[in-house]
Amino acid sequence: MQIDLSGRTALVTGSTQGIGLAIATALARAGARVVINGRGTQRVADAVRTVRAGSGSEDVTGAAGDLATEEGAAEVLEAVPALDILVNNLGIFGSAAPLEIDDAEWRRYFEVNVLSAVRLIRAYLPGMKERGWGRILDLASDSAVVIPAEMIHYGMTKTSLLAIGRGFAKDAAGTGVTVNSVIAGPTRTGGVEAFVRELVGDELPWDEAQRAFMVKYRPQSLIQRLIEPEEIANMVVYLASPLASATTGGALRVDGGYVDSILP
């Protein structure tokens, strides 16, 4: 299959590192005009250079703004008034004792992980519908359906994204716009690498260390290794392409078989 996103403009939120950076690079490699987003202008500028180098495309720009706030979202919308592809990747995570998560923390997780996505969908979906083509993708997590006891507030936000994706897909019915969620499993990022080393030590080579971690701490994974960010990016690029025109309102898994069910 040949995926060509030439002429399409894509915004990837929270794309200065990790999965978001991999998605931005893959979209640029497929020919899309890509907009990098993050809160700080310097980190955005650094990520733009990284994506250009990794994709071979110069058609990569940045739009700094804190999308968890109305003011930050307005800055991004002013810089990027119209889109063909919206990837809501922005998210925070962390562990906390369930009964110790206060109201402020519940609100913070909702505003960053959920409301930031809703704001952008609300802003960009009407134009996509008018033009008769668009792709909206929300990055969810296995925690949306396998709620971790130590991250209930995080799991709640990812479950919410599944509902949002399905609901807005119905709003876009028959317009040529698709809306989907991507359920990502345990993925290799800088923070996760440090976490793995903390649990299994520094003696083993990385490939052995991650497999030891998965067997002991994530035994339900069927691939028995961490997912690479590029593997999630591959799914996003496919769903962003014309090839996925009949896929909408779905929750598609790139979880290495982590979720022990046939359906989400």
Cα gap 69→56, rounded to integer Å? 33
**Cα within 13 Å of Cα(223), Cβ side:** 16
Residue 263 has pLDDT above 90, yes or no: no
Residue 144 has pLDDT above 80, yes or no: yes
Q: What confidence category does residue 1 fall into, taking pLDDT thresholds of 50, 70 and 90?
A: confident
Residue 264 has pLDDT above 80, yes or no: no
Cα gap 210→192, rounded to integer Å? 10
Residue 239 has pLDDT above 80, yes or no: yes
Residue 225 has pLDDT above 80, yes or no: yes
pLDDT of amino acid 262: 86
pLDDT of amino acid 42: 98
Span 203-216, average pLDDT: 93
Span 51-68, average pLDDT: 98
Span 113-119, average pLDDT: 98
pLDDT of amino acid 7: 97
In the beta sheet, which residues pair with residue 27?
A: none
Cα gap 219→105, rounded to integer Å? 30
Question: Rounded to the nearest 5 degrees, what angle is found at the Cα of 94, between the Cα atoms of 91 and 100?
Answer: 125
Express each pLDDT in 125-141 by its tens digit.
999 999 999 999 999 99
3-state secondary structure of 48: helix
Establish whether 109 is a catalytic residue: no
Give the predicted TM-score (pTM) of the model: 0.95
- Of 12-26, 45-59, 157-171, 203-217, the one with minimum mean pLDDT is 203-217
Question: Rounded to the nearest 5 degrees, what angle is found at the Cα of 249, between the Cα atoms of 27 and 118?
Answer: 70
3-state secondary structure of 43: helix
Residue 214 has pLDDT above 80, yes or no: yes
Catalytic residue among 154, 217, 238, 258: 154
pLDDT of amino acid 192: 87
Residue 186 has pLDDT above 80, yes or no: yes
pLDDT of amino acid 38: 98
Express each pLDDT in 149-182 by its tens digit.
989 999 999 999 999 999 999 999 999 999 999 9
